[in-house]
């Protein structure tokens, strides 16, 4: 069996962290541009955010910087989307800029 360099697992985690964090950016941009988030499930994003907090805790417990940083980024984006949803939930959508 071939032995992997010690840095390899962290590099894989780093790439996964970047991909999963960036995945939320298009949704945030869309919500911001449309000034509406009625298609966003409040329950799903709340539960997802709670799960992400637990992932951050897990990352702290195992000392994994990629897990911690990725989930901090994801949590920030998810909370931004939630905040915009709550802000614009009961307002009429405005035309995109």
Q: Which of 15, 18, 25, 34 is nearest to 88 (CA)?
A: 34
Kindly list the domain boundaries of the chain, sorted by start residue.
40-85
pLDDT value, residue 71:
94
Q: How far is CA 10 from CA 16, 18, 41, 67, 83, in A?
A: 10, 12, 33, 9, 32
95 pLDDT tier (thresholds 50, 70, 90): low
The three-point CA angle 66-18-38 to 5° equals 115
Contact 37, 45 (CB under 8 A): no
Which residue's entry shows tokens 């869309």? 30
Both structure tokens of 28:
């945030």
pLDDT per position as a tens digit, 9-60: 888 888 888 898 899 899 999 999 999 888 889 999 999 999 999 999 999 9
Both structure tokens of 4:
């992997």
Residue 92, pLDDT > 80, answer: no
pLDDT value, residue 2:
77
């Amino acid at each position: 069996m071939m032995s992997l360099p010690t840095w390899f697992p962290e590099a894989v985690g780093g790439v996964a962290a970047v991909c999963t964090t960036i995945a939320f950016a298009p949704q945030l941009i869309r919500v911001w541009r449309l000034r509406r988030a009625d298609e966003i499930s409040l329950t799903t994003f709340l539960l997802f955010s709670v799960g992400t907090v637990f992932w951050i805790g897990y990352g702290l417990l195992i000392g994994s910087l990629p897990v911690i940083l990725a989930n901090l980024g994801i949590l920030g984006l998810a909370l931004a989307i939630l905040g915009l949803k709550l802000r614009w939930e009961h307002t009429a959508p405005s035309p995109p800029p």
